[in-house]
């Protein structure tokens, strides 16, 4: 008798997610007002397990990014290659962001999600100040790298890791000895990622159960057109635009890309955090998609920080939605300003907490729309944020693959091998 086939990681995560959604929905409508349920289940068991899962993922981000980037950088034979990698990656991320928000604005203008909705007098939002461009550039360089790691300042960590890796490559024998240590450390961290992937279904179950215990579908009702439009544009961007880039620029079959990205997408959806998903994204990119570590270790952390295609889509639809709700007309010039502001802001506000809403506030101020209009959409933003993250993670992997292909650091055999990286799921 043959051994019973073990469920794949993707299947187990999907089962955990669906079970969590069903249980959370049942609890909400059957025992939603029960104090015991709220105390011991929603804010007890579900919250504890879910938060431990996300915290554990975030725990790996800083050491993973630093170590893998040092290993990748010191392996580069040509240090000038970093400049090309950076230019290509940032350029690609900005292009996809511009496409995303343009698509979103066009869709919102056609569908008109804000028509017939009266402005709520209770809607309010207080905008935080966005940093200036000069501040952003200065803050790229850490005055204390240890402090940057403690705070999880990804751009500063990337810069320090690049400088450290270049120095290791240039110093000779000491650098070679140190590289062996970092190689071993990288292998240990990757095993930690595998261990966390094994318990992911339980973490996802807890996160979904808590979320759907607290959020009811009725809140979507008044914003149904806005919610469904953002959701449609997000899915279309992920299933049409990214595969098109893979076909044209990476010259590979996009269907395989989407199939291999499922685990990372599910992680992104359940955690709603590109940073928390980064270990899984990096594993997928380097071990399953055939991108070299020297490219992936640079483009994935950079993408998790500045690639905001999903956020840009929300901003595009939200801008048109708020304008329609307040009865204000935007012309071609205003729409072009929205596209330019959102694209540049995706880089300029990288690493700032609550970056999505800060970017939206900047966009609204730029075209003279009331910032308090953000209060209208906050209620459904949590659900959309999950899908946005899945799209962002997919974009990080797509750009990594395209850049790797252009640099000759792409293994096509690994990409087309269905079993590549699958053994990583096994402890």
Task: Please name the fold of domain 9-425.
Answer: 1.10.3860
The beta strands (E) that lie in 147-195 are given as none
Q: What confidence category does residue 7 fall into, taking pLDDT thresholds of 50, 70 and 90?
A: confident
User: Residue 272: left (phi > 0), alpha (psi -120 to 50), or beta?
Assistant: left
Q: What is the reported pLDDT for 346? A: 72
* Domain spans, the chain: 9-425
In this predicted structure, the answer to whether residue 5 has a pLDDT above a threshold of 70 is no
In this predicted structure, the answer to whether residue 274 has a pLDDT above a threshold of 90 is no
Q: Which residue has the higher pLDDT, 47 or 9?
A: 47
| Helix and strand counts by DSSP (H, E) for the chain | 19, 0
Residue 376 token pair = 């209208």
Q: What is the reported pLDDT for 351? A: 55
pLDDT one-digit tens code per residue, 331-369? 888 889 888 888 877 766 655 555 677 778 878 888 888
pLDDT one-digit tens code per residue, 162-213? 899 888 888 888 988 998 899 899 889 888 888 888 888 898 899 888 888 8
Q: Kindly report which listed range (90-99, 145-154, 162-171, 415-424) carries the lowest average pLDDT score.
A: 415-424
In this predicted structure, the answer to whether residue 96 has a pLDDT above a threshold of 80 is yes
Average pLDDT over residues 414-421: 85
Q: What is the reported pLDDT for 249? A: 94
Q: What confidence category does residue 400 fall into, taking pLDDT thresholds of 50, 70 and 90?
A: very high
Query: Terminal CA-to-CA distance of the chain, rounded, Å?
Result: 24
In this predicted structure, the answer to whether residue 124 has a pLDDT above a threshold of 60 is no
pTM above 0.85, yes or no: no
Q: What is the reported pLDDT for 71? A: 86
In this predicted structure, the answer to whether residue 289 has a pLDDT above a threshold of 90 is yes
How far does Cα 421 stand from its chain's mean position?
Answer: 21
Distance CA 229, CA 225 (A): 6
Distance CA 244, CA 55 (A): 35
pLDDT one-digit tens code per residue, 210-238? 888 876 665 566 678 898 999 999 999 99
Please write down the long-range contacts of 324-332, taking CB distance under 8 Å and 24 or more positions apart: 324/112, 324/113, 324/114, 324/115, 324/117, 325/114, 325/117, 325/118, 325/119, 325/373, 325/376, 326/119, 326/369, 326/370, 326/373, 328/368, 328/369, 330/367
Over pLDDT 70: what percentage of the chain? 87
Q: Kindly report which listed range (127-141, 176-190, 265-279) carries the lowest average pLDDT score.
A: 127-141
Q: What is the reported pLDDT for 146? A: 93
């Amino acid at each position: 008798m043959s051994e019973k086939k073990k469920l794949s990681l993707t299947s187990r995560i999907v089962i955990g997610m669906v079970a969590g959604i069903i249980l959370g929905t049942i609890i909400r409508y059957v025992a939603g007002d029960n104090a015991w349920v709220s105390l011991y289940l929603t804010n007890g068991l579900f919250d504890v397990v879910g938060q431990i899962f996300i915290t554990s993922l975030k725990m790996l981000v800083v050491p993973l990014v630093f170590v893998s980037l040092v290993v990748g950088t010191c392996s580069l034979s040509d240090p000038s290659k970093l400049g090309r990698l950076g230019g290509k990656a940032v350029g690609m991320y900005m292009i996809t962001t511009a496409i995303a928000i343009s698509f979103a604005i066009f869709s919102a203008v056609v569908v008109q999600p804000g028509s017939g909705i009266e402005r709520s007098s209770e809607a309010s939002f207080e905008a935080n100040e966005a940093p200036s461009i000069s501040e952003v550039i200065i803050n790229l360089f850490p005055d204390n790298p240890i402090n940057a790691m403690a705070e999880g300042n990804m751009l500063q960590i990337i810069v320090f890791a690049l400088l450290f890796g270049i120095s290791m490559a240039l110093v000779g024998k000491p650098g070679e000895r140190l590289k062996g240590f970092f190689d071993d450390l990288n292998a240990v961290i990757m095993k930690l990622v595998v261990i966390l992937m094994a318990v992911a279904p339980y973490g996802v179950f807890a996160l979904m159960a808590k979320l759907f215990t607290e959020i009811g579908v009725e809140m979507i009702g008044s914003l149904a057109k806005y919610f469904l439009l953002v959701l449609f544009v997000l899915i279309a961007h992920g299933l049409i635009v990214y595969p098109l880039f893979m076909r044209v620029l990476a010259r590979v079959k996009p269907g395989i890309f989407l199939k291999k990205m499922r685990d990372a997408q599910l992680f992104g959806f359940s955690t709603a955090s590109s940073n928390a998903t980064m270990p899984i994204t990096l594993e997928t990119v380097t071990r399953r998609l055939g991108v070299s570590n020297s490219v992936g270790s640079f483009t994935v952390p950079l993408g998790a920080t500045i690639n905001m295609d999903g956020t840009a889509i929300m901003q595009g639809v939200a801008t048109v939605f708020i304008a329609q709700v307040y009865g204000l007309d935007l012309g071609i010039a205003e729409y072009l300003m929205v596209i330019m502001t959102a694209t540049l802001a995706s880089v300029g506000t990288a690493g700032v907490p609550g970056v999505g809403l800060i970017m939206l506030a900047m966009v609204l101020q730029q075209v003279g729309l009331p910032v308090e209009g953000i209060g209208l959409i906050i209620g459904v933003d949590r659900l959309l944020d999950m899908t946005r993250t899945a799209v962002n993670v997919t974009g990080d992997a797509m750009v990594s693959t395209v850049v790797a292909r252009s640099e000759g650091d792409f293994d096509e055999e690994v990409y087309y091998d269905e079993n590549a990286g699958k053994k990583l799921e096994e402890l």
